[in-house]
Amino acid sequence: MTRSLHVSRALYSDAQRYLAGGVSSDARRVAGVPLYVDRAEGARLWDVDGNSYLDYVLGQGPALLGHCPPAVVEAITAQAARGMVYSAQHAAEVRVAERICAMVPSAERVRFNTVGSEAVHAALRLARGYTGRSRILKFEGHYHGWLDPVLYSVHPAVDAAGPADSPIAVPGTAGQQPGHADDLIICPWNDLDALTRLMDRHAGQIAAVITEPVLCNTGAIRPDPGYLEAMRRLCDEHGILLIFDEIITGFRLAPGGAQEYLGVMPDLSVFGKAMAGGMQVSALAGRAAVMDHISTGKIAHAGTFNSQPVGIAAAEATLRVLDERREEVYGTLYARGSALMEGLRAAADKAGVPMLVDGPGPVFQTYFTGAPAVRDYRGFAATDRAMMAGLHAALLDRGVNIVPRGLWFLSTAHTEADIAATVDAFADALGAL
């Protein structure tokens, strides 16, 4: 089964002449031809060749209500006619900040940015400024954006990453400013002994621990029972701020994000992706006692496009739906997620393929492995990622778009019929592999 990709191929060939590497983000570089999307609506994408896809990438997570939800389209269209950029304060940002404080358990104050990497940057600066310490503890396999200070040990080659219980900081790219590694402490995730040891060893030096509360950039891995609670306690004992990077989990796992889903409170959290239904808005939120240090003017936070009114209009419309129709929204996300996971498991069993399908539901991962669970980066790295790449390509050929590393995002626009069609395409793809 092969799609016709004539127009996409021609575009890609032109793109090589004008876009460096032919793409605008390295995440879109794939073997073969990248997806050239013509339009998107609900749970579907159409490419420039007229092929249609059930979409489980959803813009890498943002389209939680599906593509082009009417309430969001209406809100941004109305706002665009009233002004697209003010670089000044306006009423809607106050309403959205208030809504975030009501929805997110640990949020007492908010600052807006444009993308996730920027909000992470703001969180780390605030943590350093607040504590007067310079080091950040980060976990192997976790992604916090593409900026120099945190682009370490995301998916390092295991043979260059040091021992599993005390990994070294492996830079993510050439050209990264040297020196940031000295400020980072890399810890294996879901390993409480390692965390305790590293905090003791670097007592008095660590400003913040930053974690994805459910790891979604290396599989879709929940924390072991009690792990985040212990992390919270250790941070308190050492005077360290706990930062939850909720760029993926925020508003996806629950109206209050992973902190509500897991019942553990961070000091600071960062949000992006799902909060604005597809527009680019991110936010740093946290305890007033910490966040108010921004307003003293000692800790700088700025941005021309912060609280840009069209993005804020999208966030307001999105969060209103997530908050006021929470039962329906999260009921649908979890129901569709579990139905799809069940269907994929059954298809893999029937095909005799050792596969693990795991995750909370609104986001989950398929791994080629005979292991009963994947708990951290080293476990993820031991799965068959070449097979996963093959499955990704085979699914695309059958009209199903997933994140190439095997991650699936659900939206409220996915129907029961979409799930059934996806399971059929999956079974067929496995057969072809």
Ligand X SMILES: Cc1ncc(COP(=O)(O)O)c(C=O)c1O
Which residues does the annotation mark as catalytic?
143, 245, 273
Smallest distance, Å, CB 39 to ligand X? Answer: 22
- Which residues, at least 6 apart from 260, have a Cβ–Cβ distance to it below 8 Å? 104, 105, 253, 254
- Which residues, at least 6 apart from 29, have a Cβ–Cβ distance to it below 8 Å? 21, 22, 23
Reading the block at residue 329, the tokens are 């929204």
Query: Applying CB under 6 A, which of residues 141, 257, 272, 277 lies at the interface with ligand X?
Result: 272
Using CB under 6 A as the binding rule, whether residue 115 contacts ligand X is answered as: yes
Smallest distance, Å, CB 147 to ligand X? Answer: 8
How many degrees, rounded to 5, is the angle at CA 396 between CA 278 and CA 6? 95
Smallest distance, Å, CB 117 to ligand X? Answer: 3
In 3D space, the residue among 315, 248, 243 whose CA is nearest the CA of residue 285 turns out to be: 243
Using CB under 6 A as the binding rule, whether residue 145 contacts ligand X is answered as: yes
Using CB under 6 A as the binding rule, whether residue 60 contacts ligand X is answered as: yes
Query: Applying CB under 6 A, which of residues 42, 66, 69, 116 lies at the interface with ligand X?
Result: 116
Query: Applying CB under 6 A, which of residues 8, 106, 117, 308 lies at the interface with ligand X?
Result: 117
Nearer to ligand X, 116 or 361 (CB): 116
DSSP codes, 264-318? ---SEEEE-GGGGBTB--EEEEE-HHHHHHHHTTSS----TTTT-HHHHHHHHHH
Q: In one letter, which amino acid is 325?
A: R
Smallest distance, Å, CB 232 to ligand X? Answer: 19
In 3D space, the residue among 346, 126, 323, 145 whose CA is nearest the CA of residue 242 turns out to be: 126
Size of the site for ligand X (CB under 6 A): 14
Q: Give the x-and-dash track for 232-271 against ligand X (CB under 6 A).
A: -------------x-xx-----------------------
- CB-CB contact of 62 with 68 (8 Å): no
Nearer to ligand X, 119 or 339 (CB): 119
Query: Applying CB under 6 A, which of residues 55, 183, 191, 212 lies at the interface with ligand X?
Result: 212
Residues near ligand X (CB under 6 A) are 60, 115-117, 120, 143-145, 212, 217, 245, 247-248, 272
